[in-house]
A = this chain, B = another copy of it.
Amino acid sequence: MIFPRYVKMVEVGPRDGLQNESQMLPASVKIDFINRLSDTGLSVIEATSFVSPQKIPQLADQREVFAGIQQKPGVQYPVLVPNRRGLDNALAVGVNDIAVFTSPSQQFNQHNIQCSVEESLERIAQVMVVAEQHKLRVRGYISCVLGCPYEGDMAPEKVAVLAEHLLKLGCYEISLGDTIGVGTPLRVVALLRQVTAKIPLEKVAVHFHDTYGQALVNIYAALENGVAVIDSAVAGLGGCPYATGASGNVASEDVLYLLNGLGIETRVDFKKLLAVGRFISQVLGKKPQSKVNQACVLN
């Protein structure tokens, strides 16, 4: 087994997590949440999403939240941007980092952003032009890389082509999302082979949901194959509105426990991360969806 020495943990709790929690939180709590995350040593914290407030009411306070956080030097606070309008709104509050997204599934794109794969790439291209003018860093998400709720299994080749396209458009990193959590390691490895045939391994991130309990084992398989960027959400926040089951993102605490056990450096403070997981869970009135946090809470 050859693992990366250092793994960059990308915390997506405030965005991918909270957008899929049924409960609405006040902006002040979200700001507090992000500030606490900043204090854990995390270097990337996805802060919010500049999608339409009608579409995702949970993040309708996107401007207030982004403007309110205390940005820690050296920490990136990307925001999700679906189109040119979202970008303009994000620029108005002074973002430096954005994330764009698409999927190889025509039907998922239609349901999610009401356009085809090709149209979504055009939208992204428009965003990239302006992003470049403003010297923004742009991350690319690909959703449903291992399965789609409408189209079933995804061909790894399609994902690889999309990853290459996004990289050529100017993304610095491509996050491969198993949005409905159906993947198992053989498929993860097969996907990584195809993707890394098209783009450099160091540009690849993985983003797993734990719907079928396979997130950590998939992360492990990705680590064995050299992937060194992992998305997760503290307390396992969120879920996917299109996926059955109650599970959200893989819990950052459980990922960090694994990485620590493997001797992989992250620069994230374990105890502080647990404390943030407990904080946000308490606010939401539920127990952390992190086994590590559940086990440690009771100590």
Contacts and interface: CB of A to CB of B under 8 A. Distances in A.
21 contacts: A1-B189, A183-B261, A184-B257, A185-B262, A211-B295, A212-B257, A212-B291, A212-B295, A213-B251, A213-B291, A214-B258, A214-B261, A214-B291, A216-B217, A217-B217, A217-B258, A244-B299, A246-B294, A246-B295, A247-B291, A247-B294
Interface in A278-299: 290-292, 294-296, 298-299
A145 interface: no
A147 to B, nearest CB: 11
Contacts of A216: 213-214, 216-217
Contact of A294 (B245, B296, B299): B245
Nearest to A255: B213
A216 to B, nearest CB: 5
Nearest to A287: B246
Interface of A: 1, 181, 183-187, 189, 210-214, 216-217, 219-221, 243-247, 251, 254, 257-258, 260-263, 290-292, 294-296, 298-299
B262 A213 contact: no
Copies of this subunit: 2
Contact of A262 (B186, B220, B290): B186
A257 B183 CA distance: 10
Nearest to A188: B261
B295 A263 contact: no
Contacts of A185: 1, 220, 258, 261-262
A66 to B, nearest CB: 32
A247 B251 CA distance: 15
Contact of A257 (B214, B220, B244, B295): B214
